Amino acid sequence: MELKSKTIYLRLVELKDATFIHSLRTDKKYSKYLSFVDNDISKQVKWIADYKKREGREFYYIIHRNSDSIPIGTVRIYDFIKEDNSFSWGSLILTENKTRYAVLECALLIYDYAFFELGFNCCNLSCRKQNEKSVKFHKRLGVKTIGETEDDYLWHYFLKDYLLIRGDIEKVINK
């Protein structure tokens, strides 16, 4: 299952992606705001193998450029909560090879898929307070603050709020 936008596409992770993912998650410039991963690639392979058993209840993608299929990052959709009709997304890493609007396109693909295809009504987000770019990005989209921890902001993002800004996102991407 592939999700495609103007300059990027997302494809589901495979075991062969372990080296790429591990290189991103152990690179300090890309993993600064993510949970720690040690230098044992076999643990990444095992994590992907375990994920593949859960696939469909969550999704882990490799982000590629459309122009040449070069992998430029990762993103996940996870924590599906049926009772709340909600999901989470994150683990977004983009390399210096990203396209100009890769972040916006990725958000559009994730929200469109989760809200319109999977039928969720709410996204639960957490973001490291120190990750100022991400905080600013999500606030511009209209997230609602529901709390915070010592390290993270906690937000909800509702379908109705996404619908208010979706057209504006598309206009920026399609310039």
Beta bridge partners of 154: 126, 147
Number of domains into which the chain is organized = 1
Give residue 59's domain range.
2-173
pLDDT in tens, 162-171: 999 999 999 9
> What are the C-alpha distances in Å from 142 to residues 18, 42, 145, 155, 157?
34, 39, 10, 10, 7
Q: Are residues 11 and 72 in contact, defined by beta-carbon separation less than 8 angstroms?
A: no
Position 155 confidence tier, pLDDT thresholds 50, 70, 90 = very high
Handedness of CA 124, 136, 27, 13 (dihedral sign): positive
* pLDDT higher than threshold 70 for residue 32: no
CATH for 10: 3.40.630.30
Say what percent of the chain tops pLDDT 70: 94
Over 70: is that where the pLDDT of 31 sits? no
Beta bridge pairs of residue 90: 76
Q: Can you give the pTM of this predicted structure?
A: 0.93
